[in-house]
A and B are shown apart, each in its own frame.
Chain A
Amino acid sequence: MISGGGQRGRAMRGFERCSAACAALLLLLGLPLAAFGNADLEALMSRLAERRTGHARFTEQHYVALLDRPVTTSGELFYEAPDRLEKRTLQPRPESLRVAAGVVEVENGRMKRSLPVQRYPELGAFIESVRATLAGDLPALRRYFSIALEGSPSRWRLQLTPLDQRLARTVSQVYISGAEAELLQIEVRQADGDRSVMNIQPLP
Chain B
Amino acid sequence: MKRDRLTVLLWLVLLLATIAVVARARYTTDLSAFLPRAPTAAQTLLVSQLRDGLASRLVLIGIEGGDARARADASRALRQQLATQAEFSWVRNGEVEAQQPDLELLLAHRYALSPRVDAARFSVDGLHTAIQSSIDLLVSPTGALFEPFIARDPTGELPELLEQLEVTGGPATTEGVWSSADGERAVLLAETRAAGSDLDGQQRALRAVNQGWQALGPRSATPLHLQLSGAGAFAVEARAVIQSEALRLSLFSSGLIVLLLWLAYGALPAVLLSMLPVACGALAGIAAVASGFGAVHGMTLGFGVTLIGESVDYSIYQFVQSPRPQARHRLWLTIGLGVATSVCGFASLLPSEFPGLAQLGVYSITGLVVAAVVTRWVLPALRSQDVLRVRSLAPLGRRVAPWLLQARRARAALVALAALCALVLFTHRGYLWNRELTALSPTPAAAQALDARLRADLGAPDLRHLIVVQAADADGALRASERVAARLRPLVAAGDLGGFDLAARYLPSRVTQQARLASIPPADELQRRLVQATQDLPLSAGRLRPFIVEAAAAREAAPLTRADLDGTSLAPAVDALLLRSGASWQALLPLRGAGSAQTVNSAKLRAALATEPDALLIDVKLQSDALYSAYLQQALWLSLAGLLLIVVLLWVWLRSLRRMARVTAPLLLSVLSVAAALVAAGVALTILHLVGMLLIVAVGSNYTLFFERPPAHAEGPLTLASLLVANAATVTGFGVLATSSVPVLQALGVTVSAGALLALLFAAMLAPVATLRSFAAAEP
Contact = CB atoms under 8 A, between A and B. Distances in A.
Contact of B145 (A73, A114, A119, A196): A119
B539 interface: yes
A116 B144 contact: no
Given A116-B173, A118-B96, A123 B142 contact: yes
B115 to A, nearest CB: 14
Given A67-B138, A111-B167, A120-B141, 15 more contacts: A62-B138, A66-B150, A66-B543, A71-B139, A73-B140, A89-B141, A93-B136, A95-B141, A106-B141, A114-B172, A116-B174, A119-B96, A120-B145, A123-B144, A194-B147
Interface in B130-184: 133, 135-142, 144-145, 147, 150-151, 163, 166-167, 170, 172-177, 183
Contacts of A106: 141-142
Contacts of A190: 144
Contact of B139 (A62, A97, A115, A116): A62
Given A66-B147, A66-B150, A103 B142 contact: no
Contact of A64 (B96, B139, B163, B176): B139
A66 B138 CA distance: 10
A131 interface: no
A70 B135 CA distance: 11
Contacts of B176: 116-119
B581 interface: no
Nearest to B534: A68
Scoring A66, A87, A92, A93 by chain B CB atoms within 10 A of each residue's CB, the highest score goes to A66
Contacts of B220: none
B538 interface: yes
A69 interface: yes
Scoring B138, B175, B183 by chain A CB atoms within 10 A of each residue's CB, the highest score goes to B138
B94 interface: yes
A93 B145 contact: no
Nearest to B133: A93
Nearest to A89: B140
Contacts of B214: none
B172 A71 contact: no
Contacts of B144: 120, 122-123, 170, 190
B540 interface: yes
Contacts of A62: 138-139
A113 interface: yes
B177 A116 contact: yes
Interface of B: 68, 94, 96, 133, 135-142, 144-145, 147, 150-151, 163, 166-167, 170, 172-177, 183, 538-540, 543
B175 A116 contact: yes
Contacts of B94: 116
A67 B539 contact: yes
A190 B141 CA distance: 14
A194 B138 CA distance: 12
Contacts of B177: 116
Contacts of A115: 142, 173
A10 interface: no
Nearest to A190: B144
A61 to B, nearest CB: 9
B163 A111 contact: yes
Nearest to A122: B144
A13 interface: no
A106 B163 CA distance: 13
Contacts of B174: 103, 114, 116
A17 interface: no
Interface in A31-90: 60, 62, 64, 66-71, 73, 87, 89
A110 interface: yes
Nearest to A192: B147
Contacts of B136: 92-93
14 contacts: A62-B138, A67-B539, A89-B140, A92-B136, A95-B141, A97-B141, A106-B141, A110-B163, A111-B163, A114-B173, A116-B175, A118-B175, A118-B176, A119-B176
Given A114-B174, A118-B176, A64 B138 contact: yes
A117 B141 CA distance: 11
B74 to A, nearest CB: 16
Contact of B172 (A67, A113, A119, A194): A113
Nearest to B540: A68
Nearest to B140: A95
A150 B166 CA distance: 44
Contacts of A60: 139
B147 A64 contact: yes
A73 B96 contact: no
A93 B140 CA distance: 8
A62 B138 CA distance: 9
Contact of A113 (B139, B166, B538): B166
List 7 A-B pairs, minimum CB-CB distance, nearest first.
Answer: A93-B136, A118-B176, A116-B176, A67-B538, A62-B139, A116-B173, A97-B141
Nearest to A70: B538
B19 to A, nearest CB: 61
A67 B173 contact: no
Contacts of A113: 166, 170, 172-173
Scoring A67, A97, A116, A123 by chain B CB atoms within 10 A of each residue's CB, the highest score goes to A116
A94 to B, nearest CB: 10
B68 to A, nearest CB: 8
Nearest to A67: B538
Given A111-B163, A120-B144, A123-B141, A66 B183 contact: no
Nearest to A123: B141
Nearest to A91: B136
B145 to A, nearest CB: 6
Contacts of A110: 163, 167
Nearest to A196: B139
A184 to B, nearest CB: 21
Given A113-B166, A123-B141, A66 B175 contact: no
Nearest to B69: A102
Given A111-B163, A113-B166, A67 B135 contact: yes
A92 B135 CA distance: 10
Given A66-B539, A116-B177, A73 B139 contact: yes
B167 A66 contact: no
A102 B69 CA distance: 11
A30 to B, nearest CB: 28
B5 to A, nearest CB: 81
Scoring B94, B142, B145, B150 by chain A CB atoms within 10 A of each residue's CB, the highest score goes to B142
Contacts of B150: 66
B182 to A, nearest CB: 10
B67 to A, nearest CB: 10
A60 B151 CA distance: 23
A204 B100 CA distance: 46
Contacts of A194: 147
Contacts of B139: 60, 62, 64, 71, 73, 196
B183 A103 contact: yes
Interface string A174-204: 0000000000000000100010100000000
A116 B176 CA distance: 4
A112 to B, nearest CB: 10
B147 to A, nearest CB: 7
Nearest to A127: B141
Nearest to B151: A66
Contacts of B170: 113
B534 to A, nearest CB: 10
B135 A71 contact: yes
Contacts of B141: 87, 89, 95, 97, 106, 120, 123
A113 to B, nearest CB: 7
A70 B539 CA distance: 10
Scoring A60, A89, A115, A119 by chain B CB atoms within 10 A of each residue's CB, the highest score goes to A119
A174 to B, nearest CB: 14
A119 B145 CA distance: 8
A167 to B, nearest CB: 13
A130 to B, nearest CB: 12
A52 to B, nearest CB: 25
A118 B144 CA distance: 12
